[in-house]
Structure 1
Amino acid sequence: MKAVEVRELRKSYPRKIPFPLRKVEWVEAVKGITFDVKKGELFGLLGPNGAGKTTTIKMLTTLLEPSGGTARVLGYDVVKEAREVRKRINLVAEGERTLYWRLSAYENLKYFARIYYVPKAEEKERIEELLKLVGLWERRNDLVMGFSRGMKQRLAIAKALINDPEVLFLDEPTLGLDVQSALFVREFVRKLVDEEGKTVILTTHYMAEAEELADRIAIIDHGKLIALDTPEGLKRLVREGDAVEVRVRDFQQAKLEGSPYRLAVIEEDPSSNTLTLRGSVDEEELPKLVEWLVKSGAKVLSVERKEPTLEDVFIKLTGRAIRD
C-alpha cells in the first residue's frame, strides 16, 4: 500500500469581480494533478509561490475539500474518511501559526497531547523525548513568545510528532529561517525518514533544499504537475554542458519575453545595473545567444558553463526561474 495516492486532484476558488460587473469568477489553483508517494519516502513538491503546493497539502491533510479528483492517505479517502486520515498524519507550516505564544513550550506540547488523545501514562515521557529531540528541553518552561523564529519552528515540528504520525506534511518548513535553523530542520527531517521510517511530504520553493532532501520531486507550476522524478533523473533533462550562466549589464529584462532562448534572471544588482541570466543552451547556440544579447543592447560581462541544477530543469520546462 502506498502512503499517498493522488488522482486528477483539482481545486477551484471563487473570486468576486467588483462593481460594475458584480460576478464571481472561478480560479483553478490545482489542475488535475496525479502522483503517488511511497511509504518511508521523502517526497518533495517543488514550485514557485502560488504554484498550488500549499493548496495540494491542505487537501491531503483534510483542511480543504477537493473540487474534483481523489486523494487517499494510507488507504483512506481524504473526504469520505477524513477522521481516519487525521489520526495518522500531522502538519508543520510556519511555527507562529500553530503555537500558543502565551504558553510555555512544555504547556504547548501538553495541550496538543490532550487533543490527540495521547495516553496519560505516555504523555510526560513523550513530551520530554520530543523537546530533547528538537533541542528545547532546557527552555521547556519559557513562554513561546520569547522564542526566535527558528525555535518556534523546532517546537512546531515537536508538536507535529506528538501523535507519532505515519505521514508528516511539511509546508515550507524553512521559510524565513536563519541559516543555522534551516540547517537543523533539514537534518532533522532527513533523520525522521532514514532512522524513524516516517513518510514525509515536503513543499518548498528552495531548489537546493529539494535537491538535498528529497528522494523524488514533483515540480508544480500554475497548478499543474510538469515533471516527476528523482533529483538526478530531473537533472538529466538538461544535458551535461548545456547549463549556461551569463552576466550582463544594461539589459532590459522585459526583452527576455521575446527571446528565442529560454533564459531567466536568477540574480539582479540594481547598483551596477547588472543581471545574471541562466538557461539551457547547447554549444552551437551559445555564439548566437551572445550575438542576440549584444543586439538587444546588453554588455556581456561573462559567460560560464555550469553543472546542471534543478533551477535549469525548471527554466527548461517553464521558461522562467522559480523565483519569478
Structure 2
Amino acid sequence: MRAIEVRNLRKLYPKKIPLPFRKVEWFEALKGISFEVKRGELFGLLGPNGAGKTTTIKILTTLLEPTSGEAKVLGFDVVKEAREVRRRINLVAEGERTLYWRLTAYENLRYFASIYYVPRSEAEKRIRELLKMVGLWDRRNDLVMNYSRGMKQRLAIAKALINDPEVLFLDEPTLGLDVQSAVFVRDLVKRLVKEEGKTVLLTTHYMHEAEQLCDRIAIIDQGKIIALDTPEGLKKLVKKDTIVEVKVKNYTGNNPFGLVKVEENNGTIVLRGSLGEEEIPRLVEFLVRNNAKVLSVEVKEPTLEDVFIKLTGRGLRD
C-alpha cells in the first residue's frame, strides 16, 4: 500500500467574494495533479510560491476539500475518512503561529499530547525524548515567545511528532531560518526518515534543499506537475546542456540568449541557463554593448533550477 495516492486532484477558488447576481470567476490552484508517495519515502514538492504546494498539503491533511479528484493517505480517503487520516498524520505548517507563545515548550507539548489522547504515562516520556531530539530540553521551561525563530520551528517539529505519526507533512520547514537552524532542521528530517521510518512529504522552493533531502521530487508549477523523478533523474533532462551562469551589473534587458534571471542582490544580477559554448563570446559582447558590466562567466554543473528553467523558461523564484 502506498502512503499517499493522488489522482486528478483539482482545486478552484473564487477570485472575488460572489455577490448576488454577480458572475463568479474562478482561479484554478490545482489542475488535475496525480502522484504517489511510497512508505518510508522522503518526497518533495518543488516549485515557486503560488505553484499549488500549500494547497496540496492542505488537502492531504484534511484542512481543505478538493473540487474534484481523489486523495488517499495510508489507504484512507481524505474527504470521506478524514478522521482516520488525522489520527495517523501530522503537519508542520508554514509560519510560526502553530504554537502557543505564552506557554513554555513543555506546556505546549503536554497540551498537544492531550489533544491526541496520548496516555499521560507515555506522554511524559515522549515529551522528554522529543525535546532532547530537537535540542530544547534545557530550554523546556522558557516561554515560546522568547524563542528564536529557529527554536520555534524545532519545537513545531517536536509538536508534530507528539502523536508518533506515520506520515509527516512539512510545508516550507526552513523558510526564513538562519543557515545554522536550516541545517539542523534538514538533518533532523533525514533522521526521521532513515532512523524512524517516517514517510515525509516536504514542500519547498529551495532547489538545494529538495536535491539534498528528497528521494523523489515532483516539480509543480501553476497548478500542474511538470516533472517527477529522482533528483539525478531530473537533472538528466539538462545533462547534455552547457549550463552557463553570468553575473552582471547595470543590465536592464530581459533574458539575453535565453538566459533567465535567477538572483538579484545589490544591483548584481545572476543570469543562468543552457547555452552553446560558441555563443558565450557573443553573449558577453551583447551585454557589453548594452552597457552592462560583466563580473563573471562560469560553466556550471546542472541543478534542479536548470531543470525548471528548461521546462518553464523562467527561474524558480520568478
Task: Give the aligned partner of residue 69 of structure 2.
Answer: 69
Cα distance in 1, alignment partners of residues 291 and 6 from structure 2: 48
| SS of 1:237 mapped into structure 2 | helix
Q: CA deviation at 1:302?
A: 3.1
Aligned residue runs from structure 1 range 20-99, under 5 A: 22-94=22-94, 96-99=96-99
Contact 1:95/1:152 (CA < 8 Å) preserved in 2?
Answer: no
SS of equivalent residue, structure 1 residue 196: coil
Q: 1:59 to 1:91 in 2, by over 3 A?
A: same
Alpha-carbon shift at residue 141 of structure 1 (Å): 1.3
Percent identity over paired residues: 75
Q: What's the CA shift for 1:161?
A: 0.4
Pick closer, same or farther for the CA change 1:279–1:139 going to 2, 3 Å.
same
Give the CA deviation at 1:61.
0.4
Q: 2:259 aligns with which of 256, 263, 266?
A: 263
Q: How many residues align?
A: 317
Partner residue, 1:15: 15
Shift of 1:286: 3.8
Cα shift readout 1:104-133 (whole Å, capped 9, x = no counterpart): 111111111111011222111111111111
Give the secondary-structure state (helix, strand or coil) at the position aligned to 2:100: coil
Aligned match of 1:309: 303
For the residues of structure 1 that align with 2:290 and 2:175, how far apart are their CA atoms? 37
1:246 aligns to what?
Answer: 246
Distance 1:18 1:296 in 2: 49
Paired residue type of 1:35: F
Greater mean deviation of Cα atoms: 87-96 or 205-214: 87-96
**3-state SS in 1 of match to 2:55:** helix
1:3, CA displacement in angstroms?
A: 0.4
What TM-score do you get using the length of structure 1 for normalisation? 0.92
Question: In 2 relative to 1, CA 306–100 (structure 1 residues): closer, same or farther, beyond 3 Å?
Answer: same
Does the CA-based 8 Å contact 1:267-1:277 persist in structure 2?
yes
Distance change in 2, residues 1:95/1:54 (3 Å): closer
Name the CA shift for 1:137/1:249 in 2 (closer, same or farther; >3 Å): closer
Deviation at 1:275, TM superposition (A): 2.0
Contact 1:240–1:308 under 8 Å retained in 2? no
1:292 Cα deviation (Å)? 4.9
- Give RMSD over aligned pairs: 2.0
Asked if the contact 1:91/1:168 (under 8 Å) is kept, the reply is yes
Once the two structures are superposed, residues 19-47 of structure 1 have per-residue CA deviations (whole angstroms, 9 ceiling, x without a partner) of 9x954210001111111000000001000
Q: Deviations over 1:251-290 (max 9, x none)?
A: 224x32xx5x4321123244xx442200012334445544
SS at structure 1 position matched to 2:96: helix
1:323 Cα deviation from its structure 2 partner: 1.1
Q: Distance in 2 between matches of 1:237 and 1:87?
A: 40
**Partner Cα distance (2:194, 2:279) in 1:** 43
Give the 3 Å change call, closer, same or farther, for CA 262–6 of structure 1 in structure 2.
farther
Deviations 1:291-320 (A, max 9, x none): 554565545443211011111111111111
Give unpaired runs (5+ residues) of structure 2: none
Residue matched to 1:102? 102
Structure 1 range deviating more: 288-297 or 156-165: 288-297
**Structure 1: gaps (5+ residues):** none
Paired with 2:204 and 2:265, the residues of 1 have a C-alpha distance of 25
Q: Which amino acid aligns with 2:310?
A: K
- Give 1:111-150 correspondences, 5 Å limit: 111-150=111-150
